[in-house]
Each structure stands twice: as structure tokens, then as C-alpha cells.
């Protein structure tokens, strides 16, 4: 998994600035981090539509997360300077097409090895907010779904009353992609497995009532990905069996981090 950190864009803030800053999703009013999710997936509100369920949306494992706005080609090591006024202006423009979350970074570190490595590393910026301050972090990922990210953050903050009891196959696939990237899938596995079992049963019902071949393949590959990542061995065997029996054409790896030994 490729990870790119632009640490000069992890902006230290005072706790007062963090807590007074308007955000789209306030997961902790007393939080100490603002996470700005730049350029999220367009039209994430309708998770049941065919377009939004396109399997290409699950190719995020090969993508990069930037702790900062998209930058020009990286300078040679040692030549990077502090953010310029131009960079600051660029980040403000990007925030116009973003989703923002107020969270507590210690809570994220308890769950996610990704955030733990990021926030406990020997970076200059860490010294400030680990001691007595907050931070503003930019996350760049055009294929990620802001609703899926919000659900993960709610689970991480134990806001269980605010998460849906049932989610569809499309949204679950997006959640699993992000959870794997953030290295928190083990912690979240019990929640994800309950959703996974329900979503996979939906797929079996669709097969029983008859669906077109493209949907069989697309949803079947998505079910294969979900059941493999969540270690739902029985569901994995059933899903692959359905694909073999019902798919009327070749199946191809959708780029959703399905191991080569599964999809050839």
C-alpha cells in the first residue's frame, strides 16, 4: 500500500482553533484534530444506484493518502521548504470541495495502525500537538466515499447509536477498502462481519430472483472481496460458487485488492 506524507502540510493549531472551527461532521466537540477530506467521491448520497456501485470505486488500495493538499512534483529530499502563501491559498480553494471532520487523534490511534504511525512518528509537527495543541490534517482521495469514512470514524469514537443497522453491498465495499487502508480492519471486524453477512445474503437473493450477468459479476466480485477481507470463509466459498455457476463470461480482478490466487 503506497503512502505519501507531506508533513509540512500537517498544520499545527491551538486547541481553541480546532474546537471553534466549523466542520461538516463533529464527532467530538472537544476533539483536537480537524481532518479535511479533499475531493471526495461525487454523489455519495445514493449508495443503491448502479453507477455508484461501480466496482472501479474500490480500487483505492493502490491510491495515495496525502497529509496535505495535492502538490507539485516532489522536490529532492532536503529541498522542501515550509508551506508558502500560495500553498495556503491552494488549500483554502480545495477545502471548498471537501468534507471536514472534528475528531480526537488519540482515539484514532487506538484503533488504526495507520494513524498511530503517523501521529507518533518523529516529525517536527508532532511535537506541538502531542504536547498541548491540535492539528489540521489533509486527506486526498478522490475515490473514497465521505459517508463510508464518517461511519468508520463513528465506530472509532464509539458512537454506535449513530451508525446504520443495515448497509448495502456498495457502501460496505467502500468501508472495507478504507478500513484496510487505515489498518483498522481487525478492530472493526465484528461490525463489518454483521453488515457483511447481511449484504452477502442480499446478493444471494438477487441471484435467486434473477439479475443480469454484469450485475452477477460485479456484485459477485465485490462479495468475494468483502468475504475474503473479513474472513467470512463460508460466505467466500458460496460467493465464488455463485460466480462459477452464474457468470456467463470471464471475470476480471476489479482492482479491489483481491489476491492473485483468488482471481486469475
The pLDDT, as a whole number, for residue 97 is 65
Within a domain: 49: yes
One DSSP character per residue, 200-228 reads HHHHHHHHHH---HHHHHHHHHHHHHHHH
Please give the share of the chain, as a percent, with pLDDT higher than 90: 22
Within a domain: 175: no
In this structure, the answer to whether residues 92 and 194 fall within a common structural domain is: no
**Count of structural domains within the chain:** 2
The pLDDT, as a whole number, for residue 219 is 82
Below-70 pLDDT ranges, the chain: 1-9, 39-97, 123-132, 142, 206-213, 246-264
Q: Rounded distance, CA 177 to CA 57, Å?
A: 9
Q: Which residues lie below 8 Å from residue 243, measured CB to CB, with a gap of 6+? A: 216, 217, 220, 221, 224, 251
Contact by Cβ (8 Å): 30, 155: no
In this structure, the answer to whether residues 145 and 60 fall within a common structural domain is: yes
**Cell numbers at residue 88, please?**
495556503
The pLDDT, as a whole number, for residue 93 is 54
Measured torsion, CA atoms of residues 95, 101, 105, 108, in degrees rounded to the nearest 10: -120
In this structure, the answer to whether residues 152 and 72 fall within a common structural domain is: yes
Q: Rounded distance, CA 154 to CA 25, Å?
A: 10
The pLDDT, as a whole number, for residue 210 is 62
In this structure, the answer to whether residues 145 and 104 fall within a common structural domain is: yes
In this structure, the answer to whether residues 207 and 161 fall within a common structural domain is: no
Domain containing 114 equals 7-168
What pTM value is reported for the model? 0.72
Contact by Cβ (8 Å): 225, 170: no
The pLDDT, as a whole number, for residue 64 is 32
Within a domain: 183: no
The pLDDT, as a whole number, for residue 22 is 95
In this structure, the answer to whether residues 92 and 204 fall within a common structural domain is: no
Amino acid at each position: 500500500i503506497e503512502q505519501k506524507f507531506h508533513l509540512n502540510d500537517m498544520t499545527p493549531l491551538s486547541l481553541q482553533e480546532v474546537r471553534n472551527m466549523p466542520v461538516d461532521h463533529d464527532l467530538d466537540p472537544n476533539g483536537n484534530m480537524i481532518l479535511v477530506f479533499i475531493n471526495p467521491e461525487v454523489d455519495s448520497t445514493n449508495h443503491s444506484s448502479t453507477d455508484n456501485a461501480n466496482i472501479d470505486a474500490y480500487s483505492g488500495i493502490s491510491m495515495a493518502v496525502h497529509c496535505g493538499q495535492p502538490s507539485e512534483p516532489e522536490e529532492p529530499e532536503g529541498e522542501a521548504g515550509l508551506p508558502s502563501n500560495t500553498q495556503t491559498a491552494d488549500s483554502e480553494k480545495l477545502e471548498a470541495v471537501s468534507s471536514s471532520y472534528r475528531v480526537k487523534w488519540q482515539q484514532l490511534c487506538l484503533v488504526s495502525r495507520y494513524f498511530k504511525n503517523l501521529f507518533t512518528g518523529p516529525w517536527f509537527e508532532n511535537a506541538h500537538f502531542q504536547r498541548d495543541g491540535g492539528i489540521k490534517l489533509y486527506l486526498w482521495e478522490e475515490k473514497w466515499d465521505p459517508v463510508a469514512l464518517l461511519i468508520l470514524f463513528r465506530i472509532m469514537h464509539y458512537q454506535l447509536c449513530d451508525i446504520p443497522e443495515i448497509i448495502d453491498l456498495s457502501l460496505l465495499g467502500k468501508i472495507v477498502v478504507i478500513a484496510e487502508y487505515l489498518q483498522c480492519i481487525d478492530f472493526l471486524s465484528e461490525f463489518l462481519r454483521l453488515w457483511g453477512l447481511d449484504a452477502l445474503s442480499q446478493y444471494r437473493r438477487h441471484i435467486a430472483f434473477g439479475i443480469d450477468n454484469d450485475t452477477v459479476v460485479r456484485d459477485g466480485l465485490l462479495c468475494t472481496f468483502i468475504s475474503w477481507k473479513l474472513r467470512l470463509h463460508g460466505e467466500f466459498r458460496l460467493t465464488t460458487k455463485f460466480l462459477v455457476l452464474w457468470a456467463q463470461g470471464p471475470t476480471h480482478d476489479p482492482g479491489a485488492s483481491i489476491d492473485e490466487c483468488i482471481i486469475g
